[in-house]
Structure 1
């Protein structure tokens, strides 16, 4: 494989943005790919793939390169060089690469890097590229299942679309994206797996609101709320609203949806997406205090609480988050989740239903929160069912969802 200096330079710059300036990887990659109009599809693919791969395997690559901390430009070049050497071996695509005769690589000893790489594979937290504290937390909460899930989370994320059933069907979406490059998904009726990477956001199908990009596991959450046309629904942690849009489709644009969040730009984006999707029953509301919630006590038939969480279930898509996540953030977000669950649940009418959902693998953010809620509010609430998707078992992102009903 011929390695072009300009592309490697872009990868180095991208990694510096992520690890020094603490920017999100997806935003960095998007900006980089727009920075040079001369780059073709292969060039863009090289940059994006190498940035995401190095971020995903950051600890293993640092170990192979024998670097403890990476702060200076020459160290980033060494990291990229080490990955270029070990990538074919690590991804089982061939023998190790030979590096170009560039000044940045002149002190490389390929044999030493490959030897340290093999050593690193014998230590789980290095082999699976995870911080010490997070490895310990995962092992404590999940036991032997932790390593299985970690391995799955280090695989590239598949691309799923959700057919907007207000306008089309999953079967018809396959034809829009070349049927042989797609597949339907068992148990997720509106999902379409895209087997060959395509420019989804630039497609007429996306621009026309026929499809949304949404993981198959995420597509299970809105149906879990057991909605039907004519109901009143609140999506209280809506974000940019992928699940709100799914709820509208399931309700056949009949009833009402109030999508709430604490960040106005996300709600603005949701309104734009709703217009594109042909959704007419959705309104948005900015949450400024718990008082806003209490004013809506016992006003909705259905409530979705897709709460903020660690995001450990979606590391396939956001591999940089495992390096930015800290123990104190995890402990704080568990408190935030509890406040949302115990406060926002008051909006549900007697006899109404609520789904509590996270994109975390950890029971402390998921099952244990619901167990505590039912224990403390069992006179008023009952747990009807709960479900978990497993990256290792299902190939989807890792989601937890619990369906609860407020007693009449």
Structure 2
């Protein structure tokens, strides 16, 4: 593959913004791609994939590179893929054999898997012998997964329509609304997306709304809704009948919910900002179903958000665990007696998952609930994102 100066510069500049200006990779890539409308699909794909790959393997690349210069780091990454470099002055001094020999001598798992030492130690402690394969799986590129909007189309119909546009996909077993694309591509410009026939949502994430066992006509609260992806799924499962309160403490996160709902042909979602404990108290025992898709470390979604591992610290994980505990204690009051509550994270750490549920059930408020079942979804077993889903019922009396 031939390298071009303008696209390599775009990659190098994006890397500088992510690591030296502490910006989020997805936002930087989005801005970079918008900066030159003349780039075609191939150029855009090269930039996005190269940036994400460099972020994913940042520690390893830095270890193998003879210099911390961003061009040298890019060149090291490029040679590591088994490719050749052009004779540019920026790549002077880089030697493929030297880099590969250094890589072959490596025996440090944290460097090989390109993660901080503390994360390797924490993962090994909490996941034991499953950790190495899990982090190896999470370092692979995520597939593009669609969730079919069953209010407008069936999975088979969407698969056939996409196939007619030479977009091949397959239906994974155990995920009734999911389609996985055979080849990565930008589907947001596709007419079927604009018509609201699908959303992009990982297959593991689709298990969360399904776990609530919603029915048409129910009153449902999605209390940590963010941009409303799971609220949209719930509305489809409810056949757009009933009411969904799509809530979050950050109003800006809810801004796109109405737009997405309109595109999906959904009318039962009401976005509402949580302004404090009064908002929660006013909704006491009002929900047939309550979804708590709580803030978490995000370690289960490293495939699609590789910069997470460079922004996390042990302290930030401890802090988010406190938030999780607080949400369980305060928000659980919104579900009716006899109703169902789902606690979910996109983390693989037991300290954010089953340990939190155990702690809640042992508390005074938790005594009103019983655990019906939980799912510990590891990426190495599912092939998709890592998730945790606990289904709890509030006792009748």
**Equivalent position of 1:20 in the other structure:** 20
**Equivalent position of 1:104 in the other structure:** 90
Contact in 2 for aligned 1:158/1:194 (Cα 8 Å) = yes
**Equivalent position of 2:79 in the other structure:** 85
Query: Which has the higher mean CA deviation after the structures are superposed, 34-43 or 364-373?
Result: 34-43
SS, match of residue 367 in structure 2: coil
Contact in 2 for aligned 1:154/1:315 (Cα 8 Å) = yes
Query: How much has 1:114 moved relative to structure 2?
Result: 2.0
TM-score after normalising by structure 2: 0.96
Give the aligned length: 393
Contact in 1 for aligned 2:66/2:94 (Cα 8 Å) = no
What aligned pairs does 1:294-305 form with structure 2 within 5 A after superposition?
294-305=281-292
Query: How much has 1:378 moved relative to structure 2?
Result: 5.1
Matched, 1:61 2:48: no
Query: Which has the higher mean CA deviation after the structures are superposed, 303-312 or 249-258?
Result: 249-258
SS, match of residue 114 in structure 2: coil
Corresponding residue to 2:108 among 123, 132, 149: 123
What aligned pairs does 1:196-207 form with structure 2 within 5 A after superposition?
196-207=183-194
**Equivalent position of 2:280 in the other structure:** 293
Query: Which has the higher mean CA deviation after the structures are superposed, 34-43 or 10-19?
Result: 34-43
For residues 347-373 of structure 1, the C-alpha deviation after alignment (integer angstroms, 9 at most, x for no partner) is 111111100000000000000000111
Matched, 1:310 2:297: yes
Structure 1: how far apart are the matches of 2:14 and 2:255? 29
**Equivalent position of 2:270 in the other structure:** 283
Query: Which has the higher mean CA deviation after the structures are superposed, 98-107 or 271-280?
Result: 98-107
Structure 1: how far apart are the matches of 2:99 and 2:185? 35
Where do 5+ consecutive residues of structure 2 fail to align? none
For residues 176-217 of structure 1, the C-alpha deviation after alignment (integer angstroms, 9 at most, x for no partner) is 211771101111101011112333111111111110000000
Structure 1 runs of 4+ with >6 Å offset: none
Contact in 2 for aligned 1:63/1:116 (Cα 8 Å) = no
1:378–1:107 CA distance, 2 compared to 1 (3 A) = closer
What aligned pairs does 1:166-245 form with structure 2 within 5 A after superposition?
166-178=151-163, 181-245=168-232
SS, match of residue 14 in structure 1: helix
Structure 1: how far apart are the matches of 2:120 and 2:272? 38
Contact in 2 for aligned 1:60/1:128 (Cα 8 Å) = yes
For residues 216-265 of structure 1, the C-alpha deviation after alignment (integer angstroms, 9 at most, x for no partner) is 00001101011101111000000001100000000111111001001112
Where do 5+ consecutive residues of structure 1 fail to align? 89-96
Structure 2: how far apart are the matches of 1:127 and 1:15? 20
**Equivalent position of 1:92 in the other structure:** none
Structure 2: how far apart are the matches of 1:138 and 1:287? 33
Contact in 1 for aligned 2:143/2:184 (Cα 8 Å) = no
Query: How much has 1:379 moved relative to structure 2?
Result: 3.3
**Equivalent position of 1:390 in the other structure:** 378
For residues 341-400 of structure 1, the C-alpha deviation after alignment (integer angstroms, 9 at most, x for no partner) is 111000111111100000000000000000111122453110000012221111110010
Structure 1: how far apart are the matches of 2:219 and 2:84? 62
Corresponding residue to 1:135 among 120, 125, 129: 120
Query: How much has 1:327 moved relative to structure 2?
Result: 1.3
Contact in 2 for aligned 1:142/1:362 (Cα 8 Å) = yes
Structure 1: how far apart are the matches of 2:186 and 2:95? 39
**Equivalent position of 1:32 in the other structure:** 32
Contact in 2 for aligned 1:61/1:117 (Cα 8 Å) = no
1:49–1:379 CA distance, 2 compared to 1 (3 A) = closer
Structure 1: how far apart are the matches of 2:138 and 2:28? 21
For residues 16-44 of structure 1, the C-alpha deviation after alignment (integer angstroms, 9 at most, x for no partner) is 11111111111111211121222222211
Query: Which has the higher mean CA deviation after the structures are superposed, 13-22 or 179-188?
Result: 179-188
SS, match of residue 177 in structure 2: strand
Contact in 2 for aligned 1:374/1:382 (Cα 8 Å) = yes
SS, match of residue 50 in structure 2: helix
SS, match of residue 340 in structure 2: strand
Structure 2: how far apart are the matches of 1:65 and 1:111? 12
What aligned pairs does 1:261-276 form with structure 2 within 5 A after superposition?
261-276=248-263
Structure 1: how far apart are the matches of 2:305 and 2:297? 11
